[in-house]
Amino acid sequence: MAKVLGGVFTSHVPAIGGAIQRGAENEPYWKPFFDAWPPVRQWLDVQAPDVVVMFYNDHGLNFFLDKMPTFAVGAADVYTNDDEGWGLHPFPIPAGHAALSWAIIEKLVEEEFDITTCQQMLVDHAASIPLALAWPGREAPVRIVPITINTVQHPLPSARRCLALGRAVGKALAEWQGDERIIVMGTGGLSHQLDGERAGFMNPEYDKFCMDNLGPDPDALTQHSIHEMVELSGTQGVEILNWIAARGAMGASVSEVSRTYHIPISNTAAAVMVYETAEATASGAARTEKTPALA
Amino acid sequence: MASAAKPIAGTHIFDGAAAQKGYALNAMCFSFNHARNRDEFARDEDAYCDRFGLTEEQRAAVKARSVLQMIAAGGNVYYLAKLAGILGLNVQDLGAQQTGMSVEAFRQMLFDNAKTPQALEAING
């Protein structure tokens, strides 16, 4: 049986990709953010996931306003990153897991989510940068299932709906008969606003509320309407929806492994968090005992 | 704006009305995912705007390099960022322009966001 071991949650600011490609990780500006990652990588080494179910939002690489799905699920064995127009070189993207994608799609539609399925899908920096952060300098040794949430064109799906979507994905993962070791990723945020006279807005108080509650009580994050979330976290801060959905896929109970919050990365209050499930705690301990070098 | 919710100061919700109004401008910006299109825009900006049927308001906003005018004309910042890339502007440049600050002052404001009691509490867990 498949097991969801945990989740990695991170900001996906394009400038992070630039810093990686320039090798700027140790510069004073970048170090506090990149220092979040060694413990995450150590956790990943111990858990050795085979699959990442990636919740993110497309920023105008794969989707345009001609066809804008509220929720889209990749259903391919091959995905690529591409030129997004502002200078980042494409990152390598690992293979997809189409069979698992279809199992997730079946479950989502059964649970009455009217999703879009994509057998061809470019994945943008919101997926490629988190993978490059988690597995630096190489193609991530996992297969992926990309799931996108519209955070671009209002009306956006509510936080409640995104959490329910994630929980339905979690059901599909629990029922999956393969023995893959699965993690989720939720990317974007935290508070930031790129556009308008309020550009540069951040809200550490709301970000802390999200980080404190996402693990133990994700439903707390659904108390705000989308409009309230824009007010609290900024026009792009609503990317927290990706975190909420990813958290939903992890099951009822999780424990916090690591947390980093840093201001600013570009115009963004950046955060990196790891939660693990009871399965990971047990299996990680077992694996660590067997391979003490990873401890 | 279609939304009945109370406006948020300095914040423009990219809703259906904006998406419809801004379609041509955003379509042009979406095309900038391809280097050859960026080159073509740089070579002959007017002809490129013609090709995408930009409205007068959108053309004027692009000509003025004014982000707020582009947003008023229905532009969405995720797409506008691709145009900004051609113009050599990053998101701090865009922020400075929209807030009427110098780039240096805008950058400092971003750093200062880390210094509030709420920020320190969030940073220190």
Give the single-character DSSP code of A122: B
By C-alpha distance, which of A145, A46, A42 is closest to A93?
A: A145
Based on DSSP, count helices (H) and strands (E) in chain A, helices before strands. Answer: 10, 8
Intra-chain end-to-end CA distance of chain B, in Å:
39
Residues whose CB falls within 8 Å of the CB of residue A263, separated by 6 or more in sequence, listed in order? A202, A204, A269, A270, B110, B111, B113, B114, B119, B123
Q: Do A227 and B71 touch (CB under 8 A)?
A: no
B30 touches chain A (CB under 8 A): yes
| B39 alpha-carbon distance from chain centroid | 20
pLDDT, tens digit (0-9, with 9 covering 90-100), for B11-27? 999 999 999 999 999 99
Q: Calculate helix-pair angle for A240-248, A226-233, nearest 10 degrees.
A: 120
What is the complex's ipTM, to 2 decimals?
Answer: 0.95
- Nearest residue on chain B to A84, alpha-carbon basis: B33
CATH placement of domain B13-88: 1.10.700.10
A264: cis peptide before it, omega within 30°? Answer: yes
Give the single-character DSSP code of A225: -
Q: Looking at beta carbons, which pairs linking A28-33 to residues 24 or more positions away fall under 8 Å?
A: A30/A265, A32/A260, A32/A262, A33/A260, A33/A262, A33/A265, A33/A270, A33/A272
Catalytic residues of A: 125, 192
- Residue appearing with tokens 């189409």: A98
Rounded Cα gap, residues A215 and A45, in angstroms: 22
Choose among B71, B95, B123: nearest Cβ to A267. Answer: B95
| pLDDT band of A281, cuts 50, 70, 90 | confident
Choose among A59, A235, A263: nearest Cβ to B113. Answer: A263
Write out chain B residues lying below 8 Å of A230, CB-based: 8, 11, 13
pLDDT value of position A260: 98
* Complete domains list, chain A, with CATH: 3-287 (3.40.830.10)
Q: Do B110 and A195 touch (CB under 8 A)?
A: no
| pLDDT band of A280, cuts 50, 70, 90 | confident
B2 pLDDT higher than 70: no
| pLDDT band of A3, cuts 50, 70, 90 | confident
**Mind telling me how many Å the CA of A65 is from chain B's nearest CA?**
7
pLDDT value of position A287: 59
**Mind telling me how many Å the CA of B59 is from chain A's nearest CA?**
19
- Which amino acid, residue A50? D
pLDDT value of position A247: 98
- Residue appearing with tokens 């990152």: A91
- Which amino acid, residue A123? V
Q: Do A196 and B76 touch (CB under 8 A)?
A: no
pLDDT, tens digit (0-9, with 9 covering 90-100), for A190-249? 999 999 999 999 999 999 999 999 999 999 999 999 999 999 999 999 999 999 999 999
Residues whose CB falls within 8 Å of the CB of residue A145, separated by 6 or more in sequence, listed in order? A51, A52, A53, A54, A73, A74, A96, A97, A100, A101, A104
Choose among A234, A236, A267: nearest Cβ to B92. Answer: A267
pLDDT value of position B21: 98
What does the block give as tokens for A58? 């497309």
CATH 1.10.700.10: which residues of chain B?
A: 13-88
